[in-house]
Amino acid sequence: MSPRVRFAPSPTGALHIGGARTAIYNWAFARATEGTFVLRIDDTDAERSTPENTAQILRSMRWLGIDWDEGPEVGGPHEPYFQTQRAGRYAAALERMKASGTAYPCFCSAAELEAKREIARAGEGPTGYDRTCRGIDPSVAAARIAAGEPHVWRLAVPEDRGDIVVDDIVRGETVFPASAMDDFVLVRSDGTPTYNFATVVDDADMEITHVIRGDDHLSNTPRQILVFEALGHAVPRFAHLSMIWGADGKKLSKRHGATSVEAFREEGYLPEAILNYVALLGWSLDGETTIISRETLAREFSLDRISKNPAIFDFEKLEWMNGVYIRDLSPAGLAEKMIPWLVEAGLTTTADYEARPAWYESLVPLIAERAKRLTDIAPALAFLFTDGVTLDPASADKALGSDAARDSLAAAADALAGLGSWDHDTIESTLRELAVTLGVKPKVLFQAVRVAVTGSVVSPPLFESLALLGKEASVARMRAALHA
RNA sequence: GGCGCGUUCGUCUAGCGGUUAGGACACCGCCCUCUCAAGGCGGAGAUCACGGGUUCGAAUCCCGUACGCGCUACCA
């Protein structure tokens, strides 16, 4: 049987980086094994789940290029894929468990339970439910339920159950003492299922073979195994992933910067880079390769190369990797990606891009190897789109501060103004010859021109910039700088 | 408190009984060069958390300790 895996986010927020990694691993595992990747929305937390969050999660996954074989918007043989729409399945499962005696009603109030927990916690030993209601005679229980008494349904952990062994693919064999398993709640007093019940019912229904999820669920796993067994269903394999931390070793949060996939997109990251970087946070292809395409990931991913230890999210390395992917883009590809950012910055319009795409593509070489994020592009190209340019004071001071620099700039303006043809090579040879004639270092002359034309001592390559800006504008800026 | 998990350069990792402990980011130096980048070359950086074992030999296997994290809910 080919593997069936699932990613089951809770739509209580955006898809964050940890969830994205879980999704990526599930997806990659399914692709590499020719299995099936199911997307299921675990929205049983009615308080915090919203349709907007669900929509955003789907959007983020699509943006990353993670497609699912079954789930929202694509359907599948196990519809519906929203837990809130699967109430019938949970009710049916509970009925089966009632019939087999593996579930029983509990009438203890929240206050009573809390009091007991307090006492237990103060002393030694487990704090789990003390099974007060497990001994209630079924007919008595039925009468109390009929009378409308509030109750939950609990799992009856088998008395003779030995220690529960989870043969985790990532962590190896981990043993949980049966004594530590309490009769936890399956169905709440309002009739809705708890997480540990709903996921198991769904994973069983959907014939999930491998559960790949966050480390925080490892301790829940023995409970879930008990439910699988009570349901008489085969237990899937498990693979628990370590957490992703911020630089301070704490859970990754907004304090550390962007954490949602959406936020990374807004900060100018490419989906390929996020996918690649995040995949490497806890998995490696061979220990050497760092740039890994989506296709390679989908072909080569394997669970046995997942590492056990938690990873700290390194924004700097992600940024470097994003630069790698930006440089890897074709001129047309990067032009298309940068346009929204130029429009956003108020420098141009999509109409202008559509009118002369080739011109925009010719800008790409100026910034491709200088940009780490898409957000770096508009500031670097702004001087090409504005009427004039405001000189950065520090730059002006540095490159135009001396009389020699100003004199050579004036000479350069004159020399360039007289040019018949306006292209990179002509501009370069003109300025180089002028430097010789003037007896100044080329670098000094170039920097003076650079500041006059781009406003800053740091800019894209000079001759290309002048060629793209045009003769009139270039010369005008150089003369304007002399009077500044 | 109980139960579980984790610990290799600053960071991500390779390693699965014998290696000068390898790679990547970041850092430093040199080269290239019209600035900034990108690129090339080189460097520094890890007593493999600590302590005991097992073994001819341990980062690798076993036990313990420390620290960190997770679960211990009618959250997921």
User: At a CB cut-off of 8 Å and minimum separation 6, what does A74 contact?
Assistant: A68
- Answer yes or no: do A285 and A339 share one domain: no
**CATH number of the structural domain spanning residue A402:** 1.10.10.350
DSSP A218-261: GGGHHHHHHHHHHHT-PPPEEEEEPPEE-TTSSBP-GGGS--BH
Judge contact between A435 and A445, C-beta under 8 A. Answer: yes
- pLDDT bracket for residue A257 (50, 70, 90): confident
Judge contact between A14 and A253, C-beta under 8 A. Answer: no
pLDDT for the residue numbered A45: 81
**CATH number of the structural domain spanning residue A173:** 3.40.50.620
Q: What is the ipTM of this complex?
A: 0.96
pLDDT for the residue numbered A123: 67
Other beta carbons within 10 angstroms of residue A146's beta carbon come to 8
Query: Which has the higher per-residue pLDDT, A417 or A1?
Result: A417
* Angstrom distance (rounded) from CA A214 to CA A346: 42
Segment A377-381 mean pLDDT? 98
Local structure of A108: helix, strand or coil: coil
pLDDT higher than 90, residue A427? yes
Encode pLDDT of A330-346 as tens digits: 999 999 999 999 999 99
Residue nearest to nucleotide B10 (CA to C1'): A247
Residue nearest to nucleotide B36 (CA to C1'): A458
pLDDT higher than 80, residue A254? no
pLDDT higher than 90, residue A119? no
Protein-contacted bases of chain B (C-beta within 7 A): 1-8, 10-16, 22-26, 34-39, 68-76
- Answer yes or no: do A230 and A248 share one domain: no
| Phi, psi (degrees; rounded to nearest 5) at A130 | -85, 10
Beta strands in A146-195 (DSSP E): 152-155, 164-168, 172-176, 185-187
Encode pLDDT of A96-111 as tens digits: 999 999 999 999 988 8
Last residue of a domain, one of A241, A264, A293: A241
- Answer yes or no: do A112 and A224 share one domain: yes
Q: Is the CB of A219 under 7 A from strand B?
A: yes
- Answer yes or no: do A36 and A123 share one domain: no
Q: Quick one: how far is CA A438 from the chain centroid?
A: 56
Both tokens of A353, joined, read 């891009």
Give me the percent of chain A exceeding a pLDDT of 70: 99
- Beta-bridge partner residues of A251: A245
Of A327, A348, A329, A330, nearest to A339 by C-alpha is A348
* Domain-embedded: residue A81: no
- pLDDT bracket for residue A127 (50, 70, 90): confident
- pLDDT bracket for residue A38 (50, 70, 90): very high
Mean pLDDT of chain A: 94
Of A52, A49, A42, nearest to A22 by C-alpha is A42
- Where residue A325 falls (left for φ over 0; alpha for ψ -120 to 50; beta otherwise) is alpha
Segment A14-19 mean pLDDT? 95
| Phi, psi (degrees; rounded to nearest 5) at A359 | -65, -45
* Domain-embedded: residue A306: yes
Q: Is the CB of A128 under 7 A from strand B?
A: yes
Structure-derived torsion over alpha carbons of residues A253, A258, A260, A263, reported in degrees to the nearest 10: 150
Q: Is the CB of A187 under 7 A from strand B?
A: no
How distant is C1' of B58 from CA of A289, in Å? 28
Encode pLDDT of A273-319 as tens digits: 999 999 999 999 999 999 999 999 999 999 999 999 999 999 999 99
pLDDT for the residue numbered A113: 86
Radius of gyration of chain A (CA): 32
Judge contact between A12 and A53, C-beta under 8 A. Answer: yes
- Answer yes or no: do A38 and A175 share one domain: no
* Angstrom distance (rounded) from CA A89 to CA A24: 28
Domain that residue A337 falls in:
329-379
pLDDT for the residue numbered A65: 98
pLDDT for the residue numbered A247: 82
pLDDT higher than 90, residue A116? no
- pLDDT bracket for residue A124 (50, 70, 90): low
Q: Is the CB of A42 under 7 A from strand B?
A: yes
* Angstrom distance (rounded) from CA A339 to CA A355: 13
Domain count, chain A: 4
pLDDT higher than 80, residue A348? yes
pLDDT higher than 70, residue A125? no
Last residue of a domain, one of A197, A215, A241: A241
How distant is C1' of B55 from CA of A173, in Å? 25
**CATH number of the structural domain spanning residue A360:** 1.10.8
Both tokens of A428, joined, read 């370069």
pLDDT higher than 90, residue A256? no
* Domain-embedded: residue A233: yes
- Answer yes or no: do A169 and A91 share one domain: yes
How distant is C1' of B44 from CA of A370, in Å? 27
Segment A71-82 mean pLDDT? 97
Encode pLDDT of A45-73 as tens digits: 878 899 999 999 999 999 999 999 999 99
Q: Write out the catalytic residue numbers of A.
A: 254
Provide residues 64-103 of A with CB closer than 7 Å to any strand B atom: none
Give me the percent of chain A exceeding a pLDDT of 90: 87
pLDDT for the residue numbered A126: 65
